[in-house]
């Protein structure tokens, strides 16, 4: 790949005609690019032009707060013409335009970049500066309920594709001036706006610097979604497990930021990234914190068991049937043997065929329209499963095993894709090496997870390295909110104190309504 030759920036000249020609050459003959030329002095001796892209700006804002003030204040502008040219634009900026955000620039590339992002540029004859006016106003989707992370008791809002709406949702949750939003543009052609959100005084400074360095290293044509950023900044790109968290819920992102993490938002994506992302976070649900701790802890343990079940159940069945039938209870062994009598395929091949068929049905259900997708998934599973058993191609116990695995695989959504790969690996290994092979692969996976890091934080924290305090408070068990007095130590937050001590509720010492004995 050849290195891109750096081109020196082109500055504005004092001739409006030359400036417009350079801009037209750069933007091309696109029909949505509007260049409105006008006279802005009562004696018609000052030429000016307003440039914007139709569809990216608020047309009412352009007409009401830019064009009308320029055309209705002709005498006021004429009185300033005799002054220096920079003073003319300064007068228009401070006393004529009624838009909130107006900046000046001298570079044509900067003007073009601003216009492409939905801003309006104003140029005047004899001036080597231009005004860049914030007039963004394209069509956008309203805030809706989250589709992937269903909320039972929590807030029902989710991120949208508009970056400023997403940052406003964070501002609504955290009304703290220490909430910092660092903006940058990534993508040579897309010039996508990216924001790093964190709470100053809580999030470690070295974490923010590391995120900035990783984002600045990205040199590509376009960033179209948050998934692009994830693949460029993750710790170990060849690992099967995710080391960058994703969420479409502002309350989830806010809660993680309050613990000491940072969030990354991308314009055009209704999701947000959070880093560091640890293994235990996949088993935590935001509704756990809106419910009482006893049931929340129970559900977390159920999620862990369901995740292990979804990975190991097909492999265990294949290993027991192929290598260790003596481990079956005798009545169960007889039942399974009778159900498999006359089947043409080995049990490992049966398991792989059924698992791959399940993945095909799941993918078809996701890609089809919602009304058709549910029907295809349900009807396909029932019809094909029953037909396979009736035809003698697959045993009924295998259908039960795969069905239980399929249901359990959806309990831990962040690891659903990872679980599918691990499930196939465990099944193949069990078909060749039995339980011994499954144990070897499990140890290899555990050692890999223990060595993995997410933005410098050990992936299995607080299990390893062991932190007893964090482990019993908010990992597999969830302590009451009044007991979570400090932030997780493995994140190394600058402010470790989360709340004041002695927050446990207790009855009042002297109850005036208590009947005296």
CB neighbours (10 Å) of residue 154? 19
Alpha carbon distance 295, 286 (integer Å): 13
Contact assessment for residue 405 and residue 229, using Cβ atoms and an 8 Å cutoff: no
In 110-149, which positions are buried (b, 16+ CB within 10 angstroms) versus exposed (e)? bbbebbebbbbbbbbbebebbbbbbbbeeeeeebeebeeb
Q: Is residue 348 part of a domain?
A: yes
Query: What CA dihedral angle connects 380, 382, 387 and 388, to 10 degrees?
Result: 90
Tens-place pLDDT, residues 85-115: 446 778 888 878 888 888 999 889 889 988 9
Alpha carbon distance 459, 449 (integer Å): 6
- Residue 284 sits at the vertex; the CA angle it makes with 182 and 363, to the nearest 5 degrees, is 90
User: Which residues are CB-neighbours of 219 under 8 A, at least 6 positions away?
Assistant: 188
> Is the same domain home to 313 and 423?
yes
DSSP element (H, E) containing 105: strand 102-105
Q: What's residue 80's pLDDT? A: 61
pLDDT over threshold 90, residue 44: no
Alpha carbon distance 191, 116 (integer Å): 9
Q: What's residue 511's pLDDT? A: 60
> Is the same domain home to 37 and 125?
yes
Question: How confident is the model over 405-417, as a mean pLDDT?
Answer: 89
> Is the same domain home to 314 and 203?
no
> Is the same domain home to 303 and 408?
yes
Alpha carbon distance 258, 487 (integer Å): 8
Contact assessment for residue 398 and residue 321, using Cβ atoms and an 8 Å cutoff: no
Contact assessment for residue 121 and residue 97, using Cβ atoms and an 8 Å cutoff: no
> Is the same domain home to 236 and 129?
no
Residue 419 has which token pair? 């679980």
Tens-place pLDDT, residues 16-27: 888 898 888 888
Q: Is residue 70 part of a domain?
A: yes
Contact assessment for residue 252 and residue 149, using Cβ atoms and an 8 Å cutoff: yes
User: Which residues are CB-neighbours of 4 under 8 A, at least 6 positions away?
Assistant: none
Q: How far from the centroid of its chain's Cα atoms is residue 281's Cα?
A: 15
> Is the same domain home to 300 and 241?
no
Q: DSSP code of 255?
A: H
Per the model's pLDDT, the better-predicted residue between 84 and 252 turns out to be 252
Q: Please state, for a pLDDT cut of 70, what percent of the chain lies above it.
A: 90
Q: What's residue 345's pLDDT? A: 79
Alpha carbon distance 467, 163 (integer Å): 37
Q: Is residue 248 part of a domain?
A: yes
> Is the same domain home to 194 and 53?
no
Taking the model in full, what pTM does it have? Answer: 0.86
Q: Is residue 152 part of a domain?
A: no
> Is the same domain home to 259 and 375?
no
CB neighbours (10 Å) of residue 506? 6
State the total domains in the chain.
3
Q: Is residue 246 part of a domain?
A: yes
Per the model's pLDDT, the better-predicted residue between 515 and 276 turns out to be 276
Question: How confident is the model over 449-463, as a mean pLDDT?
Answer: 93
Handedness of CA 152, 423, 320, 405 (dihedral sign): positive
For residue 57, give the 3-state DSSP assignment.
Answer: strand
Maximum average pLDDT range among 8-12, 407-411, 451-455: 451-455
- The DSSP line for 431-473 is HHHHHHHHHHHHHHHHHHHHH-EETTEETTTTTTTT-HHHHHH
> Is the same domain home to 307 and 260?
no
State residue 360 phi and psi, 5-degree precision.
Answer: -65, -45
Alpha carbon distance 83, 284 (integer Å): 65
Alpha carbon distance 414, 241 (integer Å): 9
Q: Is residue 114 part of a domain?
A: yes
Closest-CA residue to 284 (of 111, 413, 148, 404) = 413
Q: DSSP code of 66?
A: I
Strands 192-199 and 262-266: antiparallel
Band (pLDDT 50/70/90 cuts) for residue 3 is very low
> Among 183-197, 227-241, 356-370, 443-457, where is mean pLDDT lowest?
356-370
Residue that finishes a domain, picked among 133, 152, 185 = 133
Alpha carbon distance 149, 396 (integer Å): 33
Maximum average pLDDT range among 139-148, 390-399, 440-449: 440-449
Q: DSSP code of 369?
A: -
Q: Is residue 469 part of a domain?
A: no
Band (pLDDT 50/70/90 cuts) for residue 507 is confident
For residue 349, give the 3-state DSSP assignment.
Answer: helix
DSSP element (H, E) containing 302: helix 293-322
Residue 140 has which token pair? 């956008």
Contact assessment for residue 395 and residue 343, using Cβ atoms and an 8 Å cutoff: yes
> Is the same domain home to 230 and 379?
no
Band (pLDDT 50/70/90 cuts) for residue 1 is very low
- The parent domain of residue 91 ranges over 16-133
Q: Is residue 472 part of a domain?
A: no
Q: What's residue 322's pLDDT? A: 87
Residue that finishes a domain, picked among 277, 306, 332 = 277
Alpha carbon distance 51, 117 (integer Å): 12
Residue that finishes a domain, picked among 250, 277, 304 = 277
């Amino acid at each position: 790949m050849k290195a891109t030759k750096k081109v020196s920036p082109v500055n504005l000249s004092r001739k409006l005609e030359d400036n417009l020609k350079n801009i037209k050459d750069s933007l091309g003959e696109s029909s949505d690019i509007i260049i409105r030329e006008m006279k802005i002095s009562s004696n018609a001796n000052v030429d000016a032009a307003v440039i914007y892209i139709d569809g990216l700006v608020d047309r009412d804002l352009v007409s009401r707060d830019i064009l009308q003030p320029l055309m209705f204040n002709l005498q006021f502008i004429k009185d300033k013409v005799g002054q220096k040219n920079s003073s003319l634009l300064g007068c228009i900026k401070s006393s004529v335009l009624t838009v909130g955000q107006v900046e000046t620039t001298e570079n044509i590339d900067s003007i073009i970049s601003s216009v492409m992002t939905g801003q309006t540029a104003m140029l005047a004859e004899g001036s080597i500066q231009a005004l860049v006016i914030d007039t963004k106003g394209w069509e956008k989707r309203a805030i809706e309920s989250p589709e992937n992370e269903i909320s039972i008791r929590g807030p029902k809002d989710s991120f949208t594709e508009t970056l400023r709406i997403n940052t406003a949702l964070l501002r609504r949750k955290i009304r703290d001036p220490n909430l910092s939003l660092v903006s940058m543009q990534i993508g040579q052609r897309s010039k996508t706006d990216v924001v790093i959100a964190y709470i100053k005084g809580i999030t470690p400074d070295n974490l923010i610097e590391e995120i900035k360095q990783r984002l600045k290293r990205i040199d590509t044509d376009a960033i179209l979604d948050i998934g692009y950023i994830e693949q460029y900044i993750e710790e170990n790109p060849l690992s099967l497990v995710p080391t960058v968290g994703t969420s479409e819920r502002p309350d989830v992102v806010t809660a993680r930021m309050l613990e000491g993490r940072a969030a990354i938002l991308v314009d055009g994506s209704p999701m947000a990234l959070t880093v560091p992302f640890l293994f235990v976070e996949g088993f935590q649900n935001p509704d756990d914190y809106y419910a009482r701790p006893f049931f929340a802890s129970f559900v977390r343990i159920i999620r862990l068991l369901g995740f292990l079940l979804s990975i190991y159940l097909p492999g265990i069945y294949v290993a027991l049937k192929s290598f260790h039938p003596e481990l079956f209870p005798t009545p169960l062994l007889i039942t399974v043997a009778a159900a498999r009598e006359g089947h043409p395929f080995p049990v490992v091949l049966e398991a792989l065929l059924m698992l791959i068929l399940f993945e095909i049905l799941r993918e078809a259900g996701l890609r089809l329209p919602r009304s058709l997708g549910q029907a295809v998934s349900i009807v396909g599973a029932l019809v094909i499963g029953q037909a396979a058993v009736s035809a003698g191609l697959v045993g009924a116990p295998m259908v039960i095993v795969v069905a239980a695995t399929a249901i359990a695989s959806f309990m831990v959504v962040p690891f659903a894709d990872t679980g599918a790969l691990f499930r196939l690996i465990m099944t193949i290994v069990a078909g060749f090496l039995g339980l011994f092979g499954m144990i070897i692969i499990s140890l290899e996976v555990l050692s890999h997870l223990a060595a993995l890091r997410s933005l410098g934080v050990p992936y299995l924290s607080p299990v390893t390295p062991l932190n007893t305090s964090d482990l019993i408070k908010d990992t597999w068990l969830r302590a009451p909110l009044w007991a979570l007095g400090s932030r997780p130590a493995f994140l190394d937050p600058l402010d470790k104190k989360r709340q004041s001590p002695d927050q446990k509720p207790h009855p009042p010492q002297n109850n005036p309504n208590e009947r005296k004995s």
